[in-house]
Amino acid sequence: MIVDTGKVAINAAITYQTAPEEFDFCLYTNAITWAHDTSIGDLTEAAWASYARQNIPAWATPTIDGSFNGVSEPTTPNITFDNGEATPQVAVGFFVVGHSSGILYGGDAFSWPIAIDAMGSRDFAPSFLVNTLP
């Protein structure tokens, strides 16, 4: 879900009122109900050993391909989160913030909580589902 602060920031960037910025992919651990006015203060960011926000690499360029909306799904290379704890750690969902600004653009709960093994890592493959947009 793109939240209100994210909509404002996106609109400002595409109308050249602000410079576009890179995004960070982050994990949170508390159960919340996402709404248009969800704020960064509503989220409990993961804090286990070796956890760090991950910069989202360049997105693949969408192309016209005859899919549901006629446009391919933009994807990015996998993002890896590490767990330096001796016990598994659980993430409930993800959120995306501006790398420089810290603006919350949006996020969502995972379909089910995702565990990262003790002293292990877990890859995530972010995508932008164009067929979920109005």
**Length of the chain (residues):** 134
Q: Which two tokens stand for residue 105?
A: 């653009």
pLDDT per residue over 80-131, tens digit each? Answer: 999 999 999 999 999 999 999 999 999 999 999 999 999 999 998 877 654 4
Q: Which two tokens stand for residue 128?
A: 């932008």
pTM, two decimal places: 0.83
Report the alpha-carbon distance of residue 38 to residue 46 in Å, rounded. 17
Please state, as a whole number, how many other Cβ atoms lie within 10 Å of the Cβ of residue 41.
7
E runs forming strands in the chain: 23-28, 54-55, 79-82, 89-98, 104-116, 121-124
